[in-house]
Amino acid sequence: MTKHPRPAGMIHRGTIRAGYIGALFSGLALLVSAAALAQTPRPDADTDLPGQRNAGADISVTAPSFQLVPGHSDLADGYFTIENHSSQTHLLTGITAPACQQIIARHTDQEPTEKTSALFTHLALPKHTAMVFSVGGYHFVCLGLKSGILPGGSVPVTFVFLGGSSRTLQFPVEQAARQE
């Protein structure tokens, strides 16, 4: 078989197909790589902090009380004691409860502000320290309380810590005393 020389500037049809197929595969490989990167779990910076990964095991929450606010069917107050038993300071980054649309912090005798409301999103728990959140002081407020929560029952409340660990415990539901 005789080869025929191609005139200058003329591209053979097979070369075009190979070029398109190569470009198609290169583009496809790039898309697959980008998708793989997007789905690869990015290590969370806060899970790699020394001493923070096991905060949930170092911390206990005791004396839980979930008190329904008289005259407000969509509000409840949460009281508790939280203790850090370790030699490492930990950070509470949130409190959640499926019975609440939102949980904020409040002090009974102070005007609520945006900063005090966000207290439980960045609360330092010093090493070997207990903090009491009781009636008359700082506590959490459950906003948007779901209906059907009654005294005598309980509500799961989760405390989330820097590093990704958490603690969930049952808060007994009580009717709060009417404030005069």
- Is residue 65 a part of any domain in this protein? yes
If asked whether residues 136 and 69 sit together in one domain, one would say yes
CA distance 180 to 160: 34
Residue 154 CA, chain-centre distance (Å), reads 22
159 and 135 co-located in one domain: yes
Total domain count for the chain?
Answer: 2
Segments forming the whole domain that contains residue 34: 11-40
- Of 60 and 9, which is predicted with more confidence? 60
Higher pLDDT, 70 or 19: 70
Q: What is the pLDDT of residues 99-158, one digit of tens each?
A: 999 999 999 887 777 778 999 999 999 999 999 999 999 999 999 999 999 999 999 999
Residues 105 and 71 placed together within one structural domain of the fold: yes
Using the predicted structure, report yes or no on whether residue 11 has a pLDDT greater than 80. no
Q: Is the pTM of this model over 0.75?
A: no
